[in-house]
Amino acid sequence: MSESASATSGRPERAERSGAATNKKRPGVFERIVLFVRQVIGELKKVVRPTRSELLTYFVVVLVFVAAVMAFVGLLDLSFGRLVLWIFG
């Protein structure tokens, strides 16, 4: 075996905790709320809104898909209904 493979376990070593890191205060409730709101606003600024034509295209695609699923489920319901009536009279 090579020396590097036997010398380490392959896992990163943990850094020793310093006294300053353990004495660090956790932010208060209101500070965390303000930080959360700032992060939400920052993420909302990254949102790209679709153009009017893209929105119309997405709308039509959704309507066509929903209509196709409705037709498929309706045909299944009709066929199973007739099958049950034929079997049980």
Give tens-digit pLDDT for 20-29: 556 678 888 9
Instruction: Find the DSSP H helices in 8-51.
Output: 19-22, 29-45
Q: Which of 70, 66, 46 is nearest to 58 (CA)?
A: 66
Please write the tens of the pLDDT for every residue from 13-57.
Answer: 666 655 555 667 888 899 999 999 999 999 999 999 999 999 999
pLDDT value of position 30:
93
pLDDT value of position 1:
52
pTM for the predicted model, two decimal places = 0.51
